[in-house]
Structure formats: structure tokens, C-alpha cells
Structure 1
Amino acid sequence: MTDAATAVPSRAAILRFAAPVMLANLTTPLLGIVDTAIMGRSPDPALIAAVAVGSTVLTVLFWAFSFLRQSTVGLTAQALGAGDATELAAALLRPLALAALIGTVLILLQAPIAALAFGLMTSAPEVETAARAYYGWRIAAAPFALANYALAAWLIGQRRARLVLGLQLAMNGGNAALTALFVLGFGLGPAGAGLGTALAEMLTCLATLGLPAVRAQFAPAVLRAVCSGGRAQFARLMRANRDILLRTLVLTLTLASFTRFGGTLSTATLAANQVLMQWLVAGAYFLDGFANAAEVWGGAAVGAGDRAALAAVARRTGELAFACALLLAGLFWLAGDALIALITVSAEVRALADACLPWLVLSPVVGVAAFQFDGLFFGATRTAPLRDMMVLAAGGYALALWWWLPRWGNHGLWAALMLFFVLRSVLLAACWPALKRSVGPA
């Protein structure tokens, strides 16, 4: 590894790296925001709630397999650094094959998955009916949605974040246009929102596969070289992703429970929480740009056995991330009413969302440390603590929810979610000294 690769980056270098990654990350939740915003043109909160329930089910399904993205970045970067063209191709082809397999299984099992998922969500009958229509179209594009994770990660691993940003913007623009056409033009409701998003995901995947750099990985000679690794390489990939898979399942189920318990309070409360959650998730994706920077440079420091560099990376990326979190909190505080109005026209939903706006304001500051530690531990490939601490934090959230929800209603639900973020931060902070000690001499 070269000195340049292991050097501690300046704050300016971190910002230059993080900015396009932030913007690319920020476009990810825009699919849900656009669907919710277009449905929000209707004064009926049941339509917003239907998209909330349907998109939550899809989030649980798709993000359970987000290791296709999280592991591909590191494997691609390692192959690029080693100058190994075969492994560079394998870093794309193996997760693409896995995405196709998993996506096909999800399509085949969509009926029992829907029965289980919507049974657990406990929403009103009219909400569930509309949510199932949204889900039906989105699940049909599962192989393409999962393949997009791997494709974007492979490009980011080669430091082509601007290209990824362009593809994400194109997908969201297409989604907005198609969803508006199907919902506002043809009056298809939540089913139209699901169809528009599914088509946007499919078209983006096909366009990315058509890029020359991607298409070259499917040359017969490259495929033969990659396939020579066979089952052993797939087994190694699955072992490496086991902890990530379990961690992601716990995280997505925790967030899904937030939607589910909001629905037990009222349909309007579920819709209001969905409006706020769209902006919370957007803020988290934005802050993840600094977590990605911590992952890249922190991983290089771990690979070089440079404990001092690892600590410096954690400090510099953390300072910038916290400053950005404060700016986001200020934005939510000053423009919260406008952000809510941007998504829904329902007076009832707006009033309920306004009442819980302080929780949205608090969320970036409460969550930023957890995001940064995620990046550092992923970069160091210390995934077991990420898995274990996520389970413990989810347990604390469940206890808080059991105690606070009956007493404080929706505010108790939001307080439990904030506690979940705090516990993740505190528990990973307790593991941080051991990680540093494991990295070479100081």
C-alpha cells in the first residue's frame, strides 16, 4: 500500500470525497419521498399510509440484503488496489448473480411474504388493500433493485461516485415522472406509485449494465476466469456477509416496528410519522457521506497497521459529521413546517407531524455518532461488534417501547427510536478502544 493511500486526509480532502457520496446517498430515500409526496396530493391519509406500509415491507425485504452493497465496495477497492482484473470482475459478477437469485426467490415467495408482513403491520383494511397493490408492483422489480445495490457499490469502490450520482438522479427523475403519470394522470393510486418506482429501478439497472466498463466484465474470457473460483468463492462471500446480514435484519425490523406501532395509534398518526420519517432517513443518508469517508480511510489505516492514523481519521471525519448534523438539525427546525407541507396537503396529518417535529430536529444529532462508528467498524471489517451491539440496542428500544408507548403515545414511540440511536452510539463507543488496540503499534 502506498503512502498516499494510507495518509491521513485533510478536512478538505474528506469534504471533496464525501460531497458526491452524500448526494448519491441522499437520492436513495427520494424514491420513497417522491411516492409519498405524490400520494400526499390526496387529502385521504389512507393513501399516504398505504405507501408507508408498502414501502416499509419492501425496505425490510431489500435492505436485509444490503450486504450486496456494503461488502462490494470493500472487495472492489481491494481488487483495484491489487491490480487484479479477475477479482475486480468477480467483485461485480458474484453479487449480481446473488442479487438475481435472491430477487427471483422473493418474487416466487411474494404471496406468503405479503401474508406475514401485512399481518404484522396491523393497519386498517383499506390501508392494507392499497398497500398490497403498491407492494405487488415493487416486488416484481426485486432482482433489478438488488442488482442496483451491487452496481452502485462496484462503481463507488472504483471512486466513480459522480457517475453513481448521475445514475441515481436519473432514476429518481424517472420515478417522479412515471409515478406522477400513473397516479395523477391515470388515477392508479398506490398501485401506480409502485409501478412507477419499479419501472425506474428496472430502467436504471439496464442502463448501468450497458455502461462500457460494466459490459466489459461479461466478456467470455472474464466470465471463465471468475467462474474458476466456483463455490468456494461464493462460500467465502457468504461467510463475510453473515454478520452484515444479521445486523441489517435487526435494523430494518426495528424501523419496521416503528411504522407498525404508529399504525396502531391511528391511520393519520401512521401517515404523519411517515412524513417525518422520510426526512429523517434523508438526513441519515446525507450524513452517511462522512461515514463512507471514515470507512475508506479508516480501512486503509487498519490495513497499514497505523493506529494513530485510524484515530486521526475517526476524529476528523467525526468533527465534520457532527458539524453537518448540527446544520441539519437547524434546517429541520427552521424549515420543518415547509418540509411537512411539501409532502402532504392533509391538515390532520400536518398537525400531527408538527407536534412531533422536535423529534425530527433531534434525530441528526442523536444519530450521527452511530453512523460514524458504523463506517469505522465496516472499514476495519470488524462486523461482529456491529451485529452484537445492534441486537442490544434493539432490545433496549423494545423495552422502552413497551414502557413508553402506552403512557406517552406517539411521543413515546419517537422517544424509543431516539434511545435506539443513543444505545448504538454508546455501545459501539465502548467497543472502539478494543478496535484501536488491535491495529498495530500507536
Structure 2
Amino acid sequence: MDRTANGTPGPAFAVTHRLVLSIALPMTLAFMTTPLLGLTDTAVVGQLGQPDALAGLAIGAVLFDLIFSSFNFLRASTTGLTAQAFGRGDAKEQQAIFWRALLSALACGCVLLLLSPLLLSAGLALMGPDGGVAVATRSYFSIRMLAGPAALANYAILGFVLGRGQGGIGLFLQTLINGINIVLALALGLWLGWGVAGVAWGTMIGETVGTFAGLLIVLRGFAGRNRPARADILSRSKLLQLFALNRDILIRTFVLLAAFTLMTRIGSYFGAITLAANAVLMNFVLISAFYLDGLANAAEQITGRAIGAGSRTAFDRGLKLTMLWSFGLAAIAALVFLVFGAAIVGVLTTSAEVRTVALQYLPYAAVTGLTGALAYLMDGVFIGATWSDEMRNRMLLSFVCYLAALAVLVPLFGNTGLWLSINGFLLFRGVFLLTRVRPKADQTFRLAQ
């Protein structure tokens, strides 16, 4: 009989295609609203006819995203821990996990807000804008950082609802946040003529409204009889577990950012046209990430829930179905990109030279969904299972192999070698993690017996 960690049978649940898609599809749609927001912001400022403002918006957005993407561990760790408590049927611990995550998010957000002048100075020194561009960057970044605590709180809220398998609520909250951002960017930035400042205020208000809406939804679902004591929320062992999990996911995120940053850096040595072509082709990588991240979210919830319920059957079934959907959609996407990729490239750039170079390397970008499908999925499995140390170690090993591939393939094949290396990096990650799934699962479920 499947059993939980304390030896009692966990709440039974069936892993079906419907369950997988009920989590994956809403989150895929939610992720797709984010680039729509970026396009709207760019279009609004672009309509003002001020190149400095547009450049300042781009730099400010990059700085903000670089800082806050590093805190995605708040979402990921909350999902894994909540899913396991949900699988055990432990309502009190679910609430305690939420409060720990929320307090951590608000604390990190307040620290970032206090440090924002220093972060802005460092960012301006790194990016090197001057004149009107620097003024626009400073305006956008300073206003948007006011939403720092709310933005990180939204990570915790999203992680909690995903851990409970409530993908529809996640979609609603992300759509609400980005929808308000879009409407206010148009109203404040364009119609009232506030420009970059209006776009930033729209983002700040959207994040804040999203936080209050998320809190209202989550708190309404809490039963008073399951309310955890303050000592439970601030448990030293639980906080240390959360810290270790967040630390490992943060290291994994930094290494991932370093891998793609290194790709851009090396690509710059091949000239502006090749660099621009690579930037165009990275959109194919990002599109693949939408549905692969959605399925990774499904793997997080199902894996964590199965471990919490002590159900090896649900774990194996969840792994099988999420893998089936990941590779199936990746194969379809690769085929679509190969057939219609030239037309997509034509939409993304009007430069004939950039188009020519992009089409040369299109096949390597088109298959990144296939080479990366296992990596995304395994990240979801390991986060849901809270096997963060293994995930961190395999990421570091994959990065070492990536550096070796770059050292060998780039000198031999140039930009082709660069694309082969990034595809290899994705494959390394997936395969290295897959080799550890069965041993870790055997150990985890053996301890639960």
C-alpha cells in the first residue's frame, strides 16, 4: 500500500491526462501574457517618438528582470513544499508553508527596495547609458522597484496555488496582473503622456492589485481550525529546509543565466549581423519555454503530491504522462518551426542580411524544444520532490560539459558550434537528472514505508 512519511495512507488520487493538462495549460497561457505585456510597453513608448525613452525602457526592464528572475526560487520552493503537504492532506502545514514563503518574499522585497539606489547605480554602470537614456532608465527602474515587495509576494502566492494544483487561479492572477499593466500602460503612458513613468506606474499598480487579489483568494480558503501557531510558522528546522531549498534553486538559476549570457557574449564575436540573427532565433527558444514550463509546473505539483501521499504509483504515472506531453508537444513545435520558421523570422526582422543568417541556423533553434524537453521536465520533478541538492549538482556538472563543448565546437564550427553547444547543454541537464530519478525515488518511497 502507498503510504506517507509518517506511515499512514495518504489521500489517494489518480494521475490522468486531464490532471496534467489542468495545470499545464492554464500556466502556459499565463506565461504567454508576459511577452504581450512587454510588446505593449515597447509599443506605448515607441509611439512617443523618443528614442532615448525607448532605450531607457529596454535597459530598465532588463535590469529589473535580471534581479527579480533570480528570486524565482520563492515560487518554485513554495510549489514543491505545498504539493507535498497537500499530498499528505496536512492543511495546517500548507498554511504554515504559505506564511513562511510570504514572509520570506516580503522581507526580500523590502531589502531590494532599500538597496534599489545601489542596484540602479550598479546597473547604470554596467549598461553604460548616458544622457536621456540614463534619465529614462532611472525613472522606470525607481518607480517599478516600488512594487518589489508585491512582485515577490506574487511569486509566493503563485507557488502556493500551483502546489495545490489550482492552475486556473494561477492563470487568473497572472492575467489580472498583466491585464492591469497593459491597460494602465496605455492609459498613463500614452493617453496621459506620462511615457516611461506611466508604463512603470502601470506595472507597479498591477503587481500590487495582484498581491491583494491573491491574498484574498488564498486566505478565504483557509479554515480557522487548521491555523498554524506562530511557533509552527517560525520553526527553525522548517525555515532551514526552506533556506536550503531556495539556495539550491538560486544557484541553479544563476548557472542557467550564465549559460545563456555566455552564448550571447560569444555570439558577439561573430559580428553584429550574426548576433542579431541569434537574438531573433532565441525567440524560438522562448516560445518552447512557454509550454515546457507549463508541463514542468504540472510535474512539480504531481511529483510533490505523490511523495506527500506516499504513492509511488502516482509518481511513476505522473512522470510518464508529463514526459509524453513534453516530448509530443516539443516534436510538433519543432516541425512547425522548421516548416514556418522562415515566415516567422521574416516577421521578427526586416533586415535581409539578418534574415539570411538566421535561416542558416534556424534548424538548431527549432529543435531546442526537443533537446530541452527533458531538462525542463526534470527540473519540475526535482523541485516537486525537493531534491534540490541533486538538481544543483547536476546543473553544475552540465555547465562544465557546456564549457567543454564551447571550447571544442566554437573554434571548429563558429556559430554552428555555439548552437550545438547550447543544445548539448540542454541535453546534458535532462539526461544527468534523469539518471538520478529512479535511485532518488526508490530512496524517498522506501523511507516512507
1:226 partner amino acid: R
Alignment partners' CA distance in 1, 2:24 and 2:110: 34
2:75 partner amino acid: R
C-alpha displacement of 1:273: 4.7
1:225 matched to 2:233: no
1:105 matched to 2:111: yes
1:62 matched to 2:29: no
> Residue in 2 aligned with 1:90?
96
Over 3 Å counting, the alpha-carbon distance change for 1:264 and 1:368 in structure 2 is same
C-alpha displacement of 1:181: 4.5
Alignment partners' CA distance in 2, 1:339 and 1:42: 27
C-alpha displacement of 1:370: 0.5
1:203 matched to 2:209: yes
1:162 to 162, 165, 168: 168
2:181 to 172, 175, 184: 175
CA contact (8 A) 1:36 1:343 kept: no
1:376 matched to 2:381: yes
C-alpha displacement of 1:284: 1.1
1:145 to 138, 144, 151: 151
Alignment partners' CA distance in 1, 2:319 and 2:249: 21
Secondary structure at the counterpart of residue 15 of structure 2: coil
Instruction: Spell out the pairing of 1:40-439 with structure 2 (5 A cutoff).
Output: 53-82=59-88, 84-117=90-123, 119-120=125-126, 133-181=139-187, 184-185=190-191, 193-211=199-217, 213-214=218-219, 225-226=229-230, 229-230=233-234, 232=236, 233-259=238-264, 273-303=278-308, 307=312, 309-336=314-341, 339=344, 356-401=361-406, 411-439=416-444
Over 3 Å counting, the alpha-carbon distance change for 1:143 and 1:47 in structure 2 is same
Quick one: percent identity of the two aligned structures? 36
Alignment partners' CA distance in 1, 2:142 and 2:270: 26
Normalised to the residue count of structure 1, the TM-score between the two structures is 0.80
Q: Deviations over 1:79-136 (max 9, x none)?
A: 4455555433322222222112111211222243344455556789987776555434
Alignment partners' CA distance in 2, 1:285 and 1:397: 23
C-alpha displacement of 1:143: 1.2
CA contact (8 A) 2:100 2:233 kept: no
1:225 partner amino acid: A
CA contact (8 A) 2:86 2:305 kept: no
Alignment partners' CA distance in 2, 1:158 and 1:17: 10
Over 3 Å counting, the alpha-carbon distance change for 1:160 and 1:280 in structure 2 is same
C-alpha displacement of 1:342: 5.8
CA contact (8 A) 2:48 2:190 kept: no
1:113 partner amino acid: L
CA contact (8 A) 1:369 1:425 kept: yes
1:294 partner amino acid: A
**Runs of at least 5 residues in structure 2 that lack an aligned partner in the other structure:** none
- Between 1:248-257 and 1:264-273, the stretch displaced more is 264-273
Alignment partners' CA distance in 1, 2:43 and 2:279: 11
Over 3 Å counting, the alpha-carbon distance change for 1:255 and 1:50 in structure 2 is farther
C-alpha displacement of 1:388: 0.8
Alignment partners' CA distance in 2, 1:146 and 1:302: 27
Secondary structure at the counterpart of residue 71 of structure 2: coil
Q: Deviations over 1:52-92 (max 9, x none)?
A: 55444333321222221112123333444555554333222
C-alpha displacement of 1:296: 2.8
Secondary structure at the counterpart of residue 153 of structure 1: helix
C-alpha displacement of 1:264: 6.6
2:392 partner amino acid: R
CA contact (8 A) 1:31 1:197 kept: no
Over 3 Å counting, the alpha-carbon distance change for 1:209 and 1:40 in structure 2 is same
Secondary structure at the counterpart of residue 141 of structure 1: helix
C-alpha displacement of 1:142: 1.6
C-alpha displacement of 1:198: 3.3
Alignment partners' CA distance in 1, 2:280 and 2:204: 21
Secondary structure at the counterpart of residue 159 of structure 1: coil
Secondary structure at the counterpart of residue 438 of structure 1: helix
2:249 partner amino acid: I
Over 3 Å counting, the alpha-carbon distance change for 1:74 and 1:379 in structure 2 is closer
2:167 partner amino acid: A
Normalised to the residue count of structure 2, the TM-score between the two structures is 0.79
> Residue in 2 aligned with 1:15?
21
1:358 partner amino acid: P
Alignment partners' CA distance in 1, 2:244 and 2:398: 24
Secondary structure at the counterpart of residue 229 of structure 2: helix
C-alpha displacement of 1:369: 0.7
Secondary structure at the counterpart of residue 165 of structure 2: coil
2:33 partner amino acid: T
